[in-house]
Amino acid sequence: MYVIRRSAHNPLISPVNDKQWEARATFNPSPVKKGNITHLLYRALGRPDALMTPAGISTIGKALSLDGEHYQNQRQFIIPEESWEKFGCEDPRATFFEGKYYIFYTALGGMPFGAGNIKVAVAISKDLETIEEKHLVTPFNAKAMALFPERINGKITVIVTAHTDEPPARIAIAQCDKIEELWDLGFWERWHQELQENTINPLRFEQDHVEVGSVPLKTKAGWLLFYSYIQNYFGGGERVFGIEALLLDLKDPRHIVGKTKGPIMVPEEIYEKYGMVPNIVFPTGATLAKDGRIDLYYGAADTVCAKASLNLDDLLSALIPEKRVELMKRAKENPILEPIAAHEWESKAVFNPAAIDIDGTVHILYRAMGEDNTSVLGYAASKNGIKITKRSDRPAYVPREDFEIKKTAGVPSGCEDPRLTRIGNIIYLAYTAFDGVNPWRAALSSISVKDFVAERWDKWEKPVLITPDPVQDKDTALLPEKIGKQYMILHRIDPLLCADYLDSLDFTKSRLTRCIEIMGPRPGMWDSKKIGIAGPPIKTKKGWLLIYHGVSKTATYRLGAVLLDLKNPAVIISRSVDTIFEPLEEYERVGQVRNAVFSCGAVLRGDTLFVYYGGADTVVGVATMSLKKLLKILLPDTLV
């Protein structure tokens, strides 16, 4: 598991209206460290030129920074001078190699733009101040060439996207003995005859598209390459521009030794979603610090330069199959709760449990269903958090109000997916109420801690709906302490996980009025279809820990983790890129809902977090993980 954090200073560089050459866009940056100064080369798009191209001419600009966050001294660095670049110079990738800086870029040699006039060129500089020579590199259509920063087995090595504009595009490796061979026609003619042998193929589906991103970084485990992966580029669904990573063999970069399961990033921020070309994040550069911090530079919406950071060790653990381990460990006793045929009310399924720890006992409320598909809440308890030491033979909570009473025989209805929060001597129960006809609604009841422990279920307060008509609202929980002087309630109004702050929990007079957005699904990722909270957030020294479920386009339910700000829990500090738990066991993959792990509660004992979950909407399981380890991943020292 790993996280990625966007710079608080994004966008790093934006268009400047009074500079004609970069008035429309500044994007796709490539960083080069020279002493203590970061030189950032980037594509700059000027105002339209009626005599050249209505789209405007691209040149390559350069800016300087002492801290990698604040850039100044912006100026043009590479401009069209040769016939093969007459209509623009785009997307630089710069490498310091054997005493010189080699800047590969896309050269536009004709109009209208097409495969026949889009090729790779290179500019060479001794000092990053002046360009001393330029060359057209590829005789065929290509983009995004990057030079490895050192020889590999004595060979100069580049990686390039060949035939980008006449698909299928191919990411491929080229090697030579002398740098001058890279702009030799004969070299490329020979190389092209063996293109298939030199190709790297990270495609998951034929309708997707890939393009080289950053200059590869050398790590102890391999050459790390960030690249652009575009889902459904050639039709058949929503196009999703994402950033992914490959790990290439140190001695033979044609061989992939690891890769991410899916996107590291997709467009989420305003500056990524809106611009010259909306909804694009496109990687073009990366740097690696001694402390293991990776700074990933990218273009956002083809308009601005931006940066995000990752921890190298965490990323490598996700990239290399042999290093991937489940962060959460299933109890060997799983499933800890199964349906009981003799109990009509829970004969079909028991799942989606809430949990609360009181005086050394974990109390579990779980959703239970009989053959009539009515959901009620059952009760069980455990001393050690895993072995069930007590289980009631009667429901702890049943539908009692019109908004949750079944309207049509056989149709699912009732009280679903409980979440428990203790504030003082009161336990609040938030759950989903459904009558089988009207939208799912969020409901709230409460009981004293004393009555709850004594299983006096007749003491539950009369439940009330807390969301307005006729809004569908689910996955609701109450924060376990006030923020300022207000209560905070988390809830989901598709597709957003949101919050509301309340002065009182008296819903007899008013209901929730706001959906303060916390986060939403991420297109193209494991949580792309919908998301919702697991249990109520758990307070830690670094923030409120929120476990949440995400559903993919393939309808698989997985768990992820988010760290919310302590003082303002509507603000995300960190969100896991990949999952912390996914359905692998048969009892999680086969049942009422296939491939589903769904949690409604967790308890913390010492450093161990016990996460209770439903498996395939049929049984209850529990998995544990180290809180310290999880927080270290969510907020690594390198990204603080």
Sequence-distant (6+) residues with CB within 8 A of 455 are 379, 392, 396
The pLDDT assigned to 54 comes to 67
For the whole prediction, is pTM greater than 0.85?
yes
Task: Specify the pLDDT at position 234.
Answer: 87
CA distance 40 to 143: 19
Q: Given its phi and psi angles, is residue 287 left (phi above 0), alpha (psi -120 to 50 degrees) or beta?
A: beta
Residues in Cβ contact with 35 at an 8 Å cutoff, skipping those fewer than 6 apart: none
DSSP 639: G
Tokens of 380: 């069980």
Give rounded-to-5 percent helix, strand, coil for the chain.
10, 45, 45
The b/e string for 604-621 (b: 16+ C-beta within 10 A; e otherwise) is: eeeeebbbbbbbbbbbbb
Look at residue 325 in the predicted model and tell me its pLDDT.
75
Q: Which domains, and CATH codes, for the chain?
A: 4-323 (2.115.10.20), 329-639 (2.115.10.20)
Cα angle for residues 625, 630, 633 (degrees, 5° grid) = 150
**Which pLDDT score is estimated for 422?**
98
Tokens at 244, concatenated: 């992914």
> CB–CB of 84/52 below 8 Å?
no
Low-confidence residues in the chain, pLDDT < 50: none
Q: How far apart are CA 44 and CA 304, in angstroms?
A: 9
Distance CA 234, CA 358 (A): 56
